[in-house]
Every structure is written in structure tokens, then in C-alpha cells.
Structure 1
């Protein structure tokens, strides 16, 4: 296996400034890497007709496939968009720089490094081993409206649904290989508004203060215990994330009070049921509630897929990864609707931070792990 390939690919991808939503040069780089390996590359823009600013700008997506007449269909999914680098980097975040045994640059671990490792692994996967595809979006770090969901629609229309999908998010914690994700909690955000009547504080009988009612609502919500968790998931939790009245005067009763909630929930709950429950509570006190469900909880039960990843990791780095459902959401929440999904990738210690960096040795080891996982799953029995 050519251990230098993953490093070279990662450097090229990092050099493409692809702050979310990503388009253009970074996808040109991917296409240049994949076409010589026998892949058909299909690129398209999504969201051009969407006038909702909350859905973000149009984004580019890429689906690449190398067909085989035998074997299973194994997919790798990821994103080439990155969060803004912020100020204070020791070097240009979009000029990849090697310092000692580390490669620095925005996206090094989240997640251009893992994409580079997978493409490097393709050089050692025979074309007749089975069908391989890559599902790459430019909209994971943003609203995620026109990214992987649009790619799934594209795949369904062309009849290219994989048997298994590995998402290359940075799941490792203390060292490469110590954790994989076999599920994720769901996520829903809610906005509560309580209307009142503005007035002078000296004449409260002529006004209606919405703040006490909002406080009552939030106290009831704070007292809720949704569940105690499951064998694979931690307990669901409700967090109050914002309060807003906007009253700059000291002698005015405000006309409106607002709050925002974020709920992360396990597979004992559903987004719709949570919204209905909280809306009923809020409306009982005269308020209103709107919500946005980012994704439902999902679980890929331990089995052949997670077993293949565990075996490959142990073969290459000598440890067995913990199967976990902790952390935030990822695009796996969409892909789980079409096939079994597991997430596995680099150490996440520096993702979204200044001076993001990946160990060059980890890029090499991850390339070997990805190669072994793909070969195992392409040969898996139906």
C-alpha cells in the first residue's frame, strides 16, 4: 500500500478553501482523483430555487460510482465543506503545512483527511471486488438541507442504493481506533413565544406581562425527565439555550417574551412526539411553539458491519473500538434510511479548533483500515 497517497490527497483537499457551503475547486480535486480509478463522477448543485435563507446557499454534491458485476455495493460518505477557520492560526489554515509528525490545515480531521484515506485505499481494492461509491456533500457543516438528502434522492433515482455505508466522521477520541459510532441521538430545536400587552410598570392592570408565563412554562419543561436512557443510548435531555425579551427600558412591561430549546433524544422518543408534547404544554399557558427536527435517533445494531470495522481496526492498530452513540448529529441520520450505517474515522481532538491537525501516521493507518473494511463488506454474504 502506498502510504504517501493519503497524505498527498489530504494536502490537496485542504488547499481548497471550502467553507460551508462548498462548491467548485474541492470537487474538481475529488473528480481528478477518482476518474483515473475508474469511477463515474456525477456532480450537481442543489438548492438553487430555495428562497428560504435558513436553508443556506446552493451547494454542490458529488456521487461517484465504480460498478462491478459481482460482490456487494459498499459506499463511503463524507463532506468536503468545513467550518470557518477563525482568527489566530499559527499558519494559513488553507495552506497545508507539515510540522513534525502532524499535517495542519482546516479540515485535516473533519473530514478531508478521512476522504483522502478512503480514496487512497481504493488503489488497493480490485475493481472486480464489488461496487464502490462515494457520497460527498458540500453542506454538512451548514443547514444540511441540500446536501446528503439531495444525494440520496439522486441515488434513488438512478437505482444505486448501497448495501452498507461507512461515514468517515472523526469518531476516535484518544487514539485512532478507540471508538466507532453505531448510532446517534436525534435533535430538535424549538422556539417558544409568549405574547402580552405592553404598558407602564406603574400601571400593571393596564398591561399583561408575558415574562411570568414564560418562566412558568420553562419551569415545567425543566422538571421533565424524558427517559433514563437505553442499553445503547444515554438519557434524552432538554436544554434551554436562549431567553429574549429585548426590553431596553426599565419602566416598560414588554409585549413579548421568547425562549429557545434544544432537545437531544434517543430511540425511545421521536421528534414529532416531542414537538407535540411541548406544544401542548406551551399552549396551555397561552404561548406558541415552532420547531425544526434536525434528525431522528437511529441505531445500527451490532452485527457483521460493526464487526468488520472492529476486526480491521484491531488488525491494523491493535485495539478494538468501542461501539458508541454519543456526540452530536451527522449525515448518517439521513443515510440510515437507505442502508446500514456506521461511522468511523480520525481522532476528533482538534476538529473545529484553531490549528486543526492530523497525525500523518493516522492517515496511513486509516487508509489500511478502510481498505480492509471495504474488502470485508464487499465479500459479505447477503
Structure 2
């Protein structure tokens, strides 16, 4: 019996995934084609593929018109159950030429969603099909989630359904390495309001732009006090991702808005980080009388994770990497994924694993190596069979 995991099978799935647009609606801009947004069409197509291959599939609607796709393989002997999770949504396609036309070149499948998260989703689906023909010891449940790229509603909804899982795999491009730790991310905005004036008499105004510059200095000083680090992740980081100010070329700016992205360590929480930086920003009002400060609530807070090196999912996949001649040392990454929710909300020891490089995700020329997807699928099968 062959496992059915071939490059042709990978290409069949990747062509479906790329050719059916599934941009997260959070990224829709005026004038965009509404047909390119949302996960429903892709979820239906992949559900049809599962059904055609004898695997029952469920479209579980999370919000109106935006479902998760869920499938399950029953284990043969009551072994530990496993949750696999990938995501259906992609980011925007600005600057791409023919983003939804799959293109095969030199063993690489190009197009939006090819590596993030198409390669992982294809690997999961082909592994499920192989396992359906020869079931593993324990149950394997797969959730292809909506909304991973913005607010994580898909994975949160799926975890709320309940279920007991001994281990998990979240699919993201990791170059087939085992990721057991990642940074969290909290994002917020600060609005500063001053007083406009003619630039010929700037002393009559209060520049919100200058106040924003002062805020950046204060945030740098706060970062200098944060000396914690992690053996796999390094230090926390803060990036200013937006700074908007100014009404006209001869007007003292009366309003400024700044946006921040803080990547935090497993020893921190987003709530603690936000509270500290909110206090710093609010202190600016006392230091600069006349400046009003409003710190918006976090619009993203995705937790960090640090799964122990001795967790069974880590050690078992490391052993599979060794058997395949791949690096077996578990690593940490600065980017987040739905794995953190599986770990921190449902206590499922979870690794991040998948084909492709994170550098290709969200890029103008996104691609995945077809051979790597084949190998990832076979490694997932190995992991399910080793879980007894």
C-alpha cells in the first residue's frame, strides 16, 4: 500500500489553495474586489477534497460566512489524541502580479498562500489521507482555521469546542525544524493632542509631533530597563510601526498618533507589558502640560510560549528529524502562531512545524518547495504513528 503522498498530490492541493483567494477581510481596502476576501470558498473546496478521499469534513462557521474546516481520523487503539492546526486565510496581495495563478518553476509552487499556510495545509491533508488508510494508535483531529492572520478567532473557536489532546502541531513555515518557543506580541496605539498655531508664532501652539518624539525617547528608556532574555528567543523588542502627525505646512501639529508592536518573552504577559508602557505614555501629560494623552487598548495580544524540551511532541519530532537527516535541535522564533493558544489556553503541548521559510511568507513572490511539502506530510504521518 502506497501512502499517496507524492509531488503530484501536493501540486493538486497547492493549486486549489492558491487559485481560490482567501485574504483575511481585516485587510480589505476601498476598491478591493470583495470576492478575494474570506475563507469560505477555500474551506468548501478543501472539504470537497477530503470527502472525495473518504474523510468526513465539517464546515464549522465561526463568524458569518467564515468557517473553520475540521476533519478527524479515529485511532485504532485508544492512543494519545493529537490536534493538528493550519490556517486558511492569507494576507493582502499588494504589488503581486497574478497572485492567484499557481506557477510551478524549478520545483517551487508560487502564489499567494503557497507557503503561508498552503504548504502546511497540504501536508496535513495528505497525512490525514495516508492515516485514514492505515489508522494510527490515537485520534488525529485537524482544524484548518480562519482568521489566523489577524485576531485568531478560528483557533479560539475550535479550542472552545473542547476535546482532550495530548499533543499538538501548528503548521507554519519552519524549514522542517521543530519550534518549541516563540515570542508573544502586543500592539497598541497612543494618540497625543496638543494645540495648533501658525508656524510664524509656534510659541502659541503645543506640537503633538514633538510630544510624540518625546514619547519615543521615554519608550527607549523603558526598554533599557528590560534586560530579560531567553535562551532561544533573545530579548524582547519594541518597534514603532506608525507615526502620523501634521495638518498643514504652516501649522503646528495639534494631533499625533503612534502605533507600537512589542514582542514579549514567555516570562512576560501582554497585559503586564501594556500596563507598563501605558503608564509611561500617560506620564507624558504631566511632563508636557497642555498635551492630552490617550492610550488605546491593545488591538492584538498574542501570547508567548515555551514548551519544555522534554515534552513528548518535541522529543518525538526531534527523533523523526534525526531519522530523516534533518537538524533535530528544537528552536525558538520571534513570530507568533496559533500554537500559543493551543499551549496557553488548552494546555496542549504543541510544536510549530512545516515546510518552507518564514521569509517567503507575505512576500511579493511567495513560494514553497514541493518536495518539502512531501517530506513534511510523511513526517506528520511518522509522528502520528509514533504516538502510541
SS in 1 for 2:114: coil
1:161-240 matched pairs, under 5 angstroms: 161-172=164-175, 177=176, 179-204=177-202, 206-223=204-221, 224-225=223-224, 226-240=226-240
The answer to whether the 8 Å contact 1:97/1:104 transfers is: yes
Q: Which residue of 2 aligns with 1:276?
A: 275
CA shift in 2, pair 1:220/1:100, >3 Å: closer
1:244 aligns with 2:244: yes
C-alpha deviation, 1:278, in angstroms:
1.3
Q: Which residue of 1 aligns with 2:30?
A: none
1:260 aligns with 2:259: yes
Structure whose residues are more often helix by fraction: 2
C-alpha deviation, 1:212, in angstroms:
3.6
Gaps of 5+ in 2: 26-37, 286-292
1:63-78 matched pairs, under 5 angstroms: 63-68=70-75, 70-78=78-86
Match for residue 3 of structure 1 among 5, 8, 17: 5
Q: Which residue of 1 aligns with 2:45?
A: 29
C-alpha deviation, 1:203, in angstroms:
4.3
Q: Which residue of 2 aligns with 1:108?
A: 114
Q: Which residue of 2 aligns with 1:360?
A: 370
Distance 2:109 2:198 in 1: 61
C-alpha deviation, 1:82, in angstroms:
2.0
Q: Which residue of 1 aligns with 2:360?
A: 350
The answer to whether the 8 Å contact 1:59/1:146 transfers is: no
Q: Which residue of 1 aligns with 2:296?
A: 290
- Matched residue pairs, number? 355
C-alpha deviation, 1:249, in angstroms:
3.1
C-alpha deviation, 1:128, in angstroms:
5.7
C-alpha deviation, 1:133, in angstroms:
0.6
SS in 2 for 1:167: strand
CA shift in 2, pair 1:355/1:255, >3 Å: closer
Distance 1:85 1:257 in 2: 29
C-alpha deviation, 1:106, in angstroms:
2.4
1:118-137 matched pairs, under 5 angstroms: 118-125=124-131, 126-127=134-135, 129-137=137-145
SS in 2 for 1:182: strand
Greater displacement, 318-327 / 37-46: 37-46
Q: Which residue of 1 aligns with 2:157?
A: 150
SS in 1 for 2:376: helix
1:47 aligns with 2:63: yes
Distance 1:137 1:14 in 2: 16
The answer to whether the 8 Å contact 1:64/1:133 transfers is: yes
Compute the TM-score of the two structures, normalised by the length of structure 2: 0.84
Distance 2:141 2:147 in 1: 18
CA shift in 2, pair 1:285/1:324, >3 Å: same
SS in 1 for 2:296: strand
SS in 2 for 1:333: helix
CA shift in 2, pair 1:213/1:17, >3 Å: closer
Q: Which residue of 1 aligns with 2:288?
A: none
Greater displacement, 211-220 / 30-39: 30-39
C-alpha deviation, 1:274, in angstroms:
1.3
1:82-101 matched pairs, under 5 angstroms: 82-89=90-97, 92-101=98-107
Distance 1:215 1:355 in 2: 36
Greater displacement, 357-366 / 268-277: 357-366
Q: Which residue of 2 aligns with 1:51?
A: none
The answer to whether the 8 Å contact 2:119/2:356 transfers is: no
Compute the TM-score of the two structures, normalised by the length of structure 1: 0.85
Distance 1:373 1:123 in 2: 15
CA shift in 2, pair 1:123/1:239, >3 Å: closer
Distance 2:321 2:136 in 1: 24
The answer to whether the 8 Å contact 1:66/1:127 transfers is: yes
Distance 2:330 2:196 in 1: 54
The answer to whether the 8 Å contact 1:74/1:163 transfers is: yes
SS in 2 for 1:111: helix
Distance 1:96 1:200 in 2: 55
Question: Cα RMSD between the aligned structures?
Answer: 2.3
